[in-house]
Amino acid sequence: MTSISSGLHINSPNVTAIDLRKLDTIKVAESDEKTFQNYIQKSEKILESVYTKTSEPYQNPRNKDYATVTVDGEIVAEIDNNGFVKTSNNIGKEIKTLFSSEDIVLKGPELAQSRSEKIADFLGGEIINSSTAMSQKEFDFSPRPVSKIDFLAGTNSAKETQEIQKLTNSFNSWESEYLASGVGQDRIKALSEHGDKFVGIMAKAVKENGYNNPQQFIKSLSTEELETLRVVSSLAESIKPDELGKEGALNLLLPRSEHQDLDNDGFTMNGIGRSWSFPPPNAPESVKLAWDEATSGMSPGDKMLAMIPFMPILIMMDSNGQVHEVEPTEANNIYASKDFSYTGYVQDRLEALEYFRAQTPVEQYERQKEFLTKFLGALNNQDVA
């Protein structure tokens, strides 16, 4: 279900980016009573999230589709039997005022029908009832999903504790850097609301071996937990567990800095979306260390610009001069080739930069040459071939 929030624009003079890494740390045991109680309450929420289990929420008929609203044959909104609406952020912004004066007595299919009609009328769309739609009577007499805290599961093995701590530290590091990079007020608010819940989901995945079968684990999550994954991953569309591949499901459960490229195609799937970054996730650790050295002190925007020379080219020209798109696969991933040389590739980029110097803006030429030279030196420092 799309969450809609508003806030100040990041460029507003009233907004100041906070680098969380520079904040002073405190010892909880030596803190004042209010700070100590806040810490305890926060820890309790995380533990409850970790050990709360819902009886097959994804299979419960209450959570199945009631109807969809289509406009010109395209689905613009999905409504389940609870009356929850799933839609894109853009559509969500348009319809967010429709439910402000809703009859609070309505629930279940009655609420779903009311919201379907309002959305269809507002967008000029058509309502298509789903085969899993329930009647109000069926809904009223159907069992509610039962959520229980498993108090006996509170003893993690040493291995589980270590893995949970590693994932938590990784998420906290990514979150600190991300928030300090100058994100909007709405993202700050969203992560504030969902950060602890995401840590709880990761811990639950460790406890229940969810990382071994991420698709099945995500199907076991509640609607609220799926929303947390959507918000943390900055996804526009609601997560549909049945549409997820293994890599896309796995990365939804990992901090951004831990995303994996299981098929070694040079890209990472996050949900059903594909993204690219450099160095590739499967690059040698020495290459990642060299990149960190070369980009140390750079702004997030400058780091993005530094990645441009390394972006994969997924087009090819055949013998007839026709250009074709190339499918991302391990075979088409130059970085996966056994003969690939990172230092050789950077040297090639420097030579190409010199060859096209006359056609390159001076500022761009100088910026790229400075960084590529710096990165080449860092690769040599790490003895990268």
127 and 181 in a single domain? The answer is no
User: Are 43 and 110 part of one and the same domain?
Assistant: no
Domain boundary among 110, 141, 172: 141
- The answer to whether the Cα torsion of 93, 98, 101, 104 is positive or negative is negative
Q: Is residue 15 part of a domain?
A: no
Q: Please tell me whether residues 208 and 263 are part of one structural domain.
A: yes
Residue at 7 is within a domain = no
pLDDT tens column, 201-244: 999 999 999 999 999 999 999 999 999 999 999 888 889 999 99
- pTM here? 0.59
Report which DSSP code applies to 321. S
Would 121 be classed as within a structural domain?
A: yes
**Given this model, what pLDDT does residue 159 score?**
83
Residue in the block written with tokens 């594909």: 274
DSSP string, 224-290: HHHHHHHHHTT-SSPP-GGG--HHHHHHHTS-GGG---TT-SS-EEETTEEE--SS-TTS-HHHHHH
d(CA 267, CA 329): 9
Q: Are residues 223 and 256 in the same domain?
A: yes
Residues 265 and 301 in one domain: no
CB 93 within 8 A of CB 72: no
Mean pLDDT of 141-148: 65
> Comparing C-alpha atoms, which of 275, 72, 237, 255 is closest to residue 173?
255
Boundaries of domain holding 376 = 285-381
Task: Return the pLDDT at 70.
Answer: 93
pLDDT in tens, 68-96: 999 998 998 999 998 888 887 677 777 77
Domain-embedded: residue 251 = yes
Residue 117 is predicted with a pLDDT of: 92
Model confidence pLDDT, tens digit, residues 180-213: 777 778 888 888 888 889 999 999 999 999 999 9
Q: How many domains does the chain have?
A: 3
Mean pLDDT on 277-298: 92
Q: Which of 233, 257, 275 is the last residue of a domain?
A: 275
Instruction: Please check whether residues 319 and 365 belong to one and the same domain.
Output: yes
Q: Residue 74: helix, strand or coil by DSSP?
A: strand
Residue 301 has pLDDT above 90, yes or no: no
